[in-house]
Chain A
């Protein structure tokens, strides 16, 4: 277990030793300056940082994240299948960021500088892009502007990161087109919040309202259409599941494609995004995340059902008009 460390003097010899070892390792790996901050992961999931204090010497120890309670699952409001790009040049911060994202159930790709981040983002495969403001080759702000100028079908959510979240930085980030700015060192709770904001909505009300504008005298057109979609969903999902089980990837891709279009038409944006992901994977062969995506789709189907019925009810029965 983790003994609390309060007395800085007590850990000083140990910390000196750690920093010397880290500096040697950094030299051996050809990294530039010796580190002035260490991140220590313990097997129980806790994480500490040890930083050099100012020139006066001494060290500061901070607990970054406590170990998770045994067996606890991470909150489900994080879109665990979100595709994340982490652009960060510092190897320690890279490791910490990736580890946190992994704990939240995301797989993240890594970019070592702003140029790499723009190149990766140009493939259009990311839902969220984390950009460190200070990176070599191309800084975070310039990278952000370049990503925003890319002709992507869907722009990612861009989250800038800095150790100095001053008002100036906030303004600059917003001018460059970033969605938000978060403070470094990263914290698990912040990442969780940022990622859940990036999720496509289970019901895009604006899209759904377009459907409700279809009127025929004496009939609730939107209600009928929605009812048909909802009653067909279980069959769609079990067909996808059967295709996945039998390895019929062509059929799986085709059916996922159908669901993607139909769901999007009803404003089931998150369901559509999941189906799109399943389609993309099935087009490549055996989908590596197939089961996970299907599980998410089932959850989303239930969520959408509730929201759609509520939305239909709230605006009154169209048929009586």
Chain B
């Protein structure tokens, strides 16, 4: 089974970028790249080819769901599993985000000591064969 090592975190808040990166690298041993916007992520992803993308919902400009739609439209990026990150952790939203094709929703604020485990739990639910759609 493919082990998770390269993660891209798309988040405009500098402090959350830093905490998530430190937490995922220190506790989870992953390599984490960060992008501050959806546009930046779409530009960087083909080069970074992350195995998993953590995508903030509330991004300025192209928001999380719109970024996901653009990722899904790209031949090279469409198969990368995406987990939304949001402070609006209402159950109805989680259902809606999964319908958009995300693996799930990670609630902010996160606990820096358990974030890596949560991310791994989402990783284990990804579709194993072929692109998700």
The interface of chain A, by Cβ under 8 A from chain B, is 153, 210-211, 213-216, 221, 224-225, 228-229, 232, 254, 257-258, 260-262, 264-266, 272
Within 8 Å of chain A (Cβ to Cβ): is B26? yes
Contact A260 B19, CB 8 Å, known A210-B111, A215-B26, A265-B109: no
Q: Are A225 and B19 in contact (CB under 8 A)?
A: yes
- Is the pair B58, A254 in contact by a Cβ cutoff of 8 Å? yes
Which residues of chain B have C-beta atoms less than 8 A from A221's C-beta?
22, 26
- Which of chain B's residues has its CB closest to A215's CB? B26
* Minimum C-beta distance from B111 to chain A (A): 6
B29 at the interface (CB under 8 A from A): no
Q: Which secondary structure characterizes the binding site on chain A?
A: helix
Which residues of chain B have C-beta atoms less than 8 A from A232's C-beta?
14-15
Give Cα distance in the complex from A272 to B16, angstroms: 14
Complex Cα distance, B13 from A266, in Å, reads 14
- With A210-B112, A229-B15, A265-B110 known as contacts, the answer to whether A257 contacts B26 (CB < 8 A) is no
How many residues belonging to B are interface residues under a CB distance threshold of 8 Å? 21
Does B23 belong to the interface (CB within 8 Å)?
Answer: yes
A-B residue pairs in contact (CB < 8 Å), sample of 21 = A153-B89, A210-B111, A210-B113, A211-B19, A213-B112, A215-B26, A225-B22, A228-B18, A254-B60, A257-B58, A258-B16, A258-B58, A260-B87, A262-B16, A265-B15, A265-B19, A265-B109, A265-B110, A265-B112, A266-B15, A272-B109
Q: Tell me the complex Cα distance, A128–B111, Å.
A: 26
Structural contact, B87 and A261, CB atoms closer than 8 A: yes
Minimum CB–CB distance from B28 to chain A (whole Å) comes to 11
| Interface presence of B108 (CB below 8 A) | yes
B48 CB-CB contact with A under 8 Å: no
The chain B residue sitting closest to A259, CB to CB, is B13
A265 near B16: Cβ-Cβ < 8 Å: yes
A261 to B19, CA, bound (A): 12
Please indicate the chain A residues that have their CB under 8 angstroms from the CB of B23 in the complex. 214
B27 engages A214 (CB within 8 Å) = yes
Residues B12 and A258 in contact, CB atoms below 8 Å apart: yes
Q: Using known A-B contacts A221-B22, A225-B19, A225-B22, determine if residue A211 contacts B58 with beta carbons closer than 8 Å.
A: no
A225 to B18, CA, bound (A): 7
- With contact pairs A211-B19, A214-B27, A225-B15 given, residues A261 and B108 touching in the complex (Cβ less than 8 Å): yes
Q: How far is the CB of A79 from chain B (nearest CB, A)?
A: 20
Do A214 and B110 touch across chains, with their CB atoms under 8 A apart? no
Closest-by-CB residue of A relative to B23 is A214
Q: Are B15 and A214 in contact (CB under 8 A)?
A: no
Listed residue (B12, B13, B89) with the most chain A CB atoms within 10 angstroms of its CB: B13
Q: Note all chain B residues with C-beta closer than 8 A to A258.
A: 12-13, 16, 58
Q: Within 8 Å CB of A213, what residues of B? A: 112-113
- Smallest CB–CB gap between B41 and chain A, Å? 17
Chain B nearest Cβ from A40, distance in angstroms:
47
A48 to B28, CA, bound (A): 64
